[in-house]
Amino acid sequence: MLRDTAFSSPAQAGAPDAPRDAPSDGPAAREHRHVFTAMASPNEIVLAGVSQPQAAEACALAEAEIRRIERKYSRYRDDSVISAINARAGRGGVTVDAETAQLLDFAAELHRQSEGLFDLTSGCLRRAWDFKAGREPTPDALAVQLARIGWHRVQWDGRAIALPQAGMEIDFGGIGKEYAADRAIAVLHGLGLRHGFVNLGGDLRVLGPRPDGQPWVFAVRHPRREDEVCARIALSEGALATSGDYERFFITPDGRRCCHILDPRTGQPVRHWQAVSVVAPLCIAAGALATMSMLIGAQAAQRLSMPGVGFLLVDGDGRLQSHDPERLLQHPAPSPP
């Protein structure tokens, strides 16, 4: 359930995405771009319609919120809440704080809605799969990890969580980074800022349109041709998240592509979609829906068809399928100058 996606922001996308109106409102109309690395991703915060000192202060506070969430939920840090829960696997429960409880409730709801496809306990599969070496796991190695998966076996009563078996673990892959983007937006909104976006490694949420009311335009990269754009998505509000099979993968000697998005029931890589991009009001919802779509395969379009959600699916043969009631998706310019 690890996802890595690549987007180019308006600042990177060049001429076709430049604002239609040249900034005319003085220095405050300039865009301020703050770049940093956190959660193992390149991130950026773009603000407009404010002075440079205000933008710098706001970006610092938003970044601090993102780093707080990273510290609290990183599985790589021994002092994180996630590590504390995993360390007690098979040995009893851990009482969690209110924020963690609400995230666990949300994950439980995703598990229920996806009929078990979205599972916080499926991260252990990465122990069986070696993407660096490009080797498929043996059936025995896979069976060991599959036996450790199953959110339905986790004892979660809304206050305390207990993993019933040693070796079982949870992580917030698929929702943690997205939650951080939403929280960063809340920080910026609370400071009175209204124009800009937060992009955490391709999972992004828009604070508000450009100061002239025009939307931000985001380019979605082609899942097979790294330098090409397969769609542009214009957003004045809401969030965009993409899940794809192209970031970490290897090709087996007999030509099968093995990506890092793994089905918790079989332990096997998903194969139906090359990429799924979802537009939704919140980043955490867009991210969860994109991941669930990769996992469910053919039924994704039907499940995603709901008010307030737009999506772009790229199937195994590279064909695009979109549902776009709000007309957010733009086809790429034939030959960008």
Partner 1 sequence: MAATEFETADASRAGGWGGVLAAALLLPGLHATVQAETAPEQAEIAVKVLSYRDRQPGFNRIKVTAPSVYLMVPVAGRWSVEGSLVSDSVSGASPRYHSAVSGASRLDEERTAGDVRVTRYNDRDAWSIGAAYSTEHDYRSRTISADYRRSSEDNNTTWNIGAAFGDDWIGSSNDPTLSRGRNTTQLIAGVTQAWTANDLVQLNVGASWGHGMYSDPYKFPDRRPDRREQYTVMARWNHHFSDWKATLRSSWRYYSDSFGVRANTLETAWVQPLSGGWTLTPMLRYTTQRAAKFYYDPVYDPALGAPFPPGYTATSPQYLSGDQRLSAFGAITAGLKVAYEFAPRWTADFSLEHYEQRAGWRLGGSGSPGLDRFQADWLQIGLSHKF
CB distance 245 to 290 below 8 Å: no
Interface with partner 1 includes 319 (CB under 8 A)? Answer: no
Our CB check for partner 1 shows the closer of 154 and 184 to be 184
Q: Of 164 and 308, which has the nearer Cβ to partner 1?
A: 308
Q: Establish if 228 lies at the interface with partner 1 (CB under 8 A).
A: no
Q: How far is the CB of 113 from partner 1 (least distance, A)?
A: 5
Interacting positions 129-168 with partner 1 (CB under 8 A):
none
The neighbouring-strand residues paired with 244 are 275
With CB under 8 A as the contact rule, the residue among 76, 306, 321, 336 that binds partner 1 is 306
**326 contacts partner 1 (rule: CB under 8 A):** yes
Residue 190, interface with partner 1 (CB under 8 A)? yes
Counting every residue written for the chain, the total comes to 337
Give yes or no for residue 208 binding partner 1 (CB under 8 A). Answer: yes
CB of 265 to partner 1, least distance (A): 16
Cβ within 8 Å of residue 22, ≥6 positions away = none
Q: How far apart are CA 125 and CA 137, in angstroms?
A: 10
- Is residue 278 within 8 Å of residue 241, measured between CB atoms? yes
CB 122 within 8 A of CB 142: no
In the β-sheet with 93-95, what is the strand arrangement from edge to edge?
A: 93-95, 160-162, 155-156
Nearer to partner 1, 154 or 185 (CB): 185
Which one of residues 325, 331, 333, 336 is an interface residue with partner 1 (CB under 8 A)? 325
**Two tokens at 56?**
């710098």
Pair of tokens at residue 229: 């754009």
Kindly tell me which residue out of 13, 61, 186, 320 binds partner 1, with binding defined by CB under 8 A. Answer: 186
User: Please, which residue, 128 or 286, has the CB nearer to partner 1?
Assistant: 286
Name residues whose C-beta falls within 8 Å of residue 226's C-beta, 6 or more positions apart in sequence.
Answer: 6, 246
Taking the C-alpha atoms of residue 240 and residue 174, their distance in angstroms, rounded to an integer, is 13
Binding stretches for partner 1 (CB under 8 A): 21, 98-99, 102-103, 105-106, 109-110, 113-115, 179, 182-183, 185-186, 189-190, 192, 194, 208, 212-213, 237, 280-282, 284-285, 288-289, 292, 299, 302-309, 325-327
